Copies of this chain bind each other. A is one copy, B any other.
Amino acid sequence: MTKLKLRILFDTAMLGPGKAELLQRIGETGSIAAAGRQMQMSYKRAWSLVEEMNAAFREPLVSSARGGAGGGGAQVTETGQEVLRRYLAVLEAAKQAGAAEVTALEALLAPATKVDMSEEK
């Protein structure tokens, strides 16, 4: 199935599929480290993306208590939830608005090489 990937380039910040997924997974796991691990991302990389997002917006998108036994845990703030929701809304709007053109493009693609999975007789 065809997918769209969308990056929003603000003058001062960038929001794309990676940061959106990270926010979503932090919300689910309550942990920056766990969210990063699920995305095969180093702890350092996940933290650096969170710091970048927190600095880019008026309010932090993720609040966290670093350290402590087992880590301090992290939450997606209300602003973080709003940013994620609006990013996903732009993506959904793009999908719907572009659907007819995407279908027309699909019709121009070369047929996929078929792998014959039927058993030999």
Contact = CB atoms under 8 A, between A and B. Distances in A.
Interface in A48-87: 55-59, 79, 82-83, 86-87
Contacts of A112: 11-12
The number of chain A residues touching the other chain, given as a range, is 35 or more
A106 to B, nearest CB: 6
Contacts of A83: 105, 108
A15 B87 CA distance: 21
Nearest to A7: B5
Given A56-B110, A86-B101, 16 more contacts: A2-B8, A2-B9, A3-B9, A4-B8, A4-B9, A10-B109, A12-B112, A13-B109, A58-B108, A79-B108, A86-B105, A90-B98, A90-B102, A94-B94, A94-B97, A96-B97
22 contacts: A1-B11, A4-B7, A4-B8, A6-B6, A10-B106, A15-B105, A56-B109, A56-B110, A58-B108, A58-B110, A58-B111, A59-B108, A79-B108, A82-B108, A86-B105, A89-B98, A89-B101, A90-B101, A90-B105, A93-B94, A93-B97, A96-B97
